[in-house]
Amino acid sequence: MSSAPLDPFQSLVMVAWRRADYLVHQMVRALGLGRLPCKPFLLRPVRARLAADLARFEALTRRLLVLMVLEKGLPSLPSRAPSVATGKPAVSRVPVKRPVFSTPVFRLAEPMPREATALPPRRPAGPLRPRILRLDQPLPPPEPWEYPPRADDLLPSQPLIRRLVALRDVFADPATHIARMGRHLARSRAAPQARPYRLAPLPKAVNARRVSKDERESLLQLDFEARLSLEELEQELDTS
């Protein structure tokens, strides 16, 4: 059975997807995440590298999902039947208890950059204490904010771990997340007052020194194609 050959851009999408799949699973294995992904704290350099890698691969995965959806076309949303008013009293729903360990879900929307605001200088919450009580006594221990950052500091990292697990699930079940992205794009253009889907600028981690030139160029090309496809879709909807 012979299949049609892929064009260069389809090959780029396939190679980028498989490479990201491999590297994301390598990150999961390197952190030793088991069936219960719980890693409350990470060393400072490990956490910084994980945050940079997540920002890069999440941006890549969203662009790949957009391109895969737009290549097939947006799905048609199921029409909802209009609600009929009846004289029956409304039934109160019992609140559903959330599980203790909920499964993280990959975020389809891009986090938009925030405007930089000048933060006021940090001040201690409690009253200032004298640093030297007597000349013959040693200095009191420093406050927590007075310690310089060190490489062996343990920092809270569970939100990053949940993002990594959600990203791993995208590659474990791509069909489900492609369908999610399709419904998300269709809903964003279904109603006139709906907010259109926008791609944020690529994160600064793309220009890191340890990112290879080939990976950077492929991500830039995928970002350009995804933005162009979204613009063409918006123009089609405006003319229709």
The DSSP code sequence of 5-74 is PPPHHHHHHHHHHHHHHHHHHHHHHHHT--SS----EEEHHHHHHHHHHHHHHHHHHHHHHHHHHHHH-P
Confidence band of 56 (pLDDT split at 50, 70, 90): very high
Residue 128 lies in a domain: no
In a domain, 146, yes or no: no
In a domain, 14, yes or no: yes
Whether 69 is covered by a domain: the verdict is: yes
Beta bridge mates, 156:
41
Q: pLDDT of 20-55, one tens digit each?
A: 999 999 999 999 987 778 889 999 999 999 999 999
* Residue range of the domain that includes 176: 1-76+152-240
Residue 201 lies in a domain: yes
pTM reported for the whole predicted model: 0.80
In a domain, 107, yes or no: no
Instruction: Give the tens place of pLDDT for each residue, 103-140.
Output: 899 999 988 777 666 666 666 555 555 555 566 777 77
Greater confidence, 168 or 97?
168
Q: Quick one: pLDDT band at residue 164, thresholds 50, 70, 90?
A: very high
pLDDT of residue 234: 84
Tell me, yes or no, whether 83 lies in a domain. Answer: no
Task: Tell me which residue has tokens 């350099």.
Answer: 45
Structural domains of the chain, count: 1
Within-domain flag for 189: yes
The average pLDDT across 135-152 equals 76
